């Protein structure tokens, strides 16, 4: 699965992570795309995407083998 799919899976299945993104960052499910999940510059969501994936691992929504081979 690619990075975008991993982020979307976590947002789909973790109310806690999704609500945190929406309330604290004003970032919603549809705001993520193939490009901004890898963009670590201002305006990109690379760091946030990495945090979402890390939370997905902690909540057992994702497994290590689900992660992209970057």
Please give the tally of structural domains in the chain.
Answer: 1
pLDDT tens digits, residue range 11-60? 999 999 999 999 999 999 999 999 999 999 998 999 999 999 999 999 99
Contact criterion met (CB below 8 Å) for 7 and 53: yes
Task: Give the number of other Cβ atoms within 10 Å of residue 14's Cβ.
Answer: 19
Domain extent at residue 7: 3-63
For 21-33, give one letter per residue: b (16+ CB within 10 A) or e: beeeeebeeeebe
Residue 49 forms part of a structural domain = yes
pTM above 0.85, yes or no: yes
Q: Are 48 and 33 in contact (CB under 8 A)?
A: no
Residues of the chain by 3-state class (helix, strand, coil), percent to 5: 65, 0, 35
pLDDT at residue 67, as a whole number: 79
69 found inside a domain: no
Asked whether residue 70 is assigned to any structural domain, the reply reads no
């Amino acid at each position: 699965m690619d990075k975008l799919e991993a982020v979307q899976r976590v947002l789909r299945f973790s109310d806690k992570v999704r609500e945190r993104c929406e309330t604290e960052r004003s970032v919603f499910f549809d705001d993520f795309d193939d490009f901004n999940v890898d963009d670590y510059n201002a305006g990109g969501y690379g760091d946030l995407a990495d945090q979402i994936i890390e939370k997905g691992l902690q909540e057992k929504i994702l497994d290590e083998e689900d992660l992209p081979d970057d």
